[in-house]
Amino acid sequence: MKLKLEVRGYDSTIISYLSPVLAGLLTILCGSILFYALGKSPTQTLYTFFILPISDLYGVTELFVKAAPIILCATGLTICYRANIWNIGAEGQLLMGGLIGSWVALNLLEVEGSWVLPVVIIAGMLGGTAWAAIPALLRTRFHTNEILTTIMLNYISLNILLFAVHGPLKDPGGYNFPESALFSSSETMPVLVEGTRLHFGVLLAVLAVAITWVLLSKTFIGFQIQVLGKDARSAHFAGFKESKLIWIALLFSGATSGLAGVSEVTGPIGQLIPTISPGYGYAAIIVAFLGRLHPVGIFFAGLLMALLYLGGEMVQIELGLPLAMTGLFQGMLLLFLLACDVLIRYRIVLDRTKPQETIATTNLNPASGE
């Protein structure tokens, strides 16, 4: 007697979209139990975690500032995952976008003009795109698993970034700190609300959501990408070029992730530092699935993920809890989301068949070839 998973005979769209809500509620429930075990009031801690960070205008603007790079990465990942291409490299593409954009910005430090910032942004997008081209080439030319290549490239890009800020791009007048010189006003994102850090990059994230929706819903390329993801054989029979679609998906993801990186260094940071990202590229993977691989869902899931970052910082300041609470909540959210998705597609049944009876039935079956 054992438990096994049995495929359900139907898929409910409504339940599928309610799955992230249930995962969120279960995360809050488990978080409350954890806070109680740590000797903290669950009510007060949850208020500090989820409400206090956005209790004023500045907090709300910080929510969008935090969400922008996550949403940008997640929109690109959505295109990949819709095509069944498992790109785990948004983090590395973000870092390369920030690095290349910073390199261009530092070379144009003495130049003034309205064209400087667009050039820096384009350079960052090209940096992320070029980094994504490596797994695209390896997948289409050598059939290399993109999961492995994109993960390994994340660590390579991080070490390249560390080399740059400790070496050629380090500010000579920066007292030996591993950071570049501050960018000029022509190279930084315009602030949208005075007295806050809300910058133009947030609007670029909203634009990326709109472009992704149009690409998936209104273009033939988007249709091909979705067919490839659902049934590669059908895509082949329809004459769709798999290699071309793989390149499009990965390059699009690289461009949006690179844009996220360059938006960070030209936006709230204002220079190149080793810690461009606290893991936005990895968080974007959770956001992509939490948003059901839909651009609108990704936008709201990105805001929730940003709230987890702000909440983790707030409970550390107000209640003395470790900053690792952010990662813990992200992990619980992913766990419950995956569990809910599995239980939507499968039911748990009790198999009462005895091993001996199973063997005998197999031996007597004419289809077994005996």
| Greatest pairwise CA separation for the chain in angstroms | 84
Q: Report the pLDDT value the prediction gives residue 240, as an integer from 0 to 100.
A: 95
- Same-domain pairing of 240 and 274: yes
Of 358, 313, 369, give the one whose Cα is nearest residue 48.
313
- Same-domain pairing of 331 and 278: no
Each residue's pLDDT tens digit, 66-79: 999 999 999 999 99
Number of domains in the chain: 2
Residue 8: which pLDDT band, with cuts at 50, 70 and 90?
confident
3-state secondary structure of 191: strand
Q: Report the pLDDT value the prediction gives residue 341, as an integer from 0 to 100.
A: 85
| R_g of the chain, CA atoms, integer Å | 23
Residue 370: which pLDDT band, with cuts at 50, 70 and 90?
very low
CATH number (domain holding residue 152):
1.10.3470
Place of tokens 């890009």: 157
In a domain, 47, yes or no: no
Q: Report the pLDDT value the prediction gives residue 16, as an integer from 0 to 100.
A: 80
Burial of 114 (0-12, 13-18, 19+ CB in 10 A): exposed
In a domain, 240, yes or no: yes
Contact 92, 156 (CB under 8 A): yes
- Same-domain pairing of 267 and 223: yes
Residue 339 CB-half CA count within 13 A: 12
- The domain of 95 spans 64-320
Each residue's pLDDT tens digit, 304-354: 999 999 999 999 999 999 988 999 999 999 999 998 888 888 877 877 776
Stated pTM of the model: 0.91
Q: Report the pLDDT value the prediction gives residue 356, as an integer from 0 to 100.
A: 56
Each residue's pLDDT tens digit, 100-136: 999 999 999 999 999 999 999 999 999 999 999 999 9
Q: Report the pLDDT value the prediction gives residue 13, as an integer from 0 to 100.
A: 74
In a domain, 46, yes or no: no
The mean pLDDT of 227-241, rounded to a whole number, is 93
Q: Report the pLDDT value the prediction gives residue 252, as an integer from 0 to 100.
A: 98
Q: Report the pLDDT value the prediction gives residue 354, as an integer from 0 to 100.
A: 65
3-state secondary structure of 351: strand
Strand partners, 351: 2
Q: Report the pLDDT value the prediction gives residue 345, as an integer from 0 to 100.
A: 81
Asked whether the predicted pLDDT for residue 49 surpasses 60, the reply is yes
In a domain, 53, yes or no: no
Asked whether the predicted pLDDT for residue 369 surpasses 60, the reply is no
In a domain, 58, yes or no: no
Contact 119, 267 (CB under 8 A): no
- Same-domain pairing of 147 and 8: no
Q: In whole angstroms, how far apart are CA 59 and each of 47, 307, 313, 325, 369? A: 14, 10, 12, 19, 69
List of E strands, the chain: 2-7, 346-351
- Same-domain pairing of 76 and 174: yes
**H runs (alpha helix) in 143-199:** 146-166
In a domain, 277, yes or no: yes
Q: Report the pLDDT value the prediction gives residue 151, as an integer from 0 to 100.
A: 97
The mean pLDDT of 4-13, rounded to a whole number, is 74
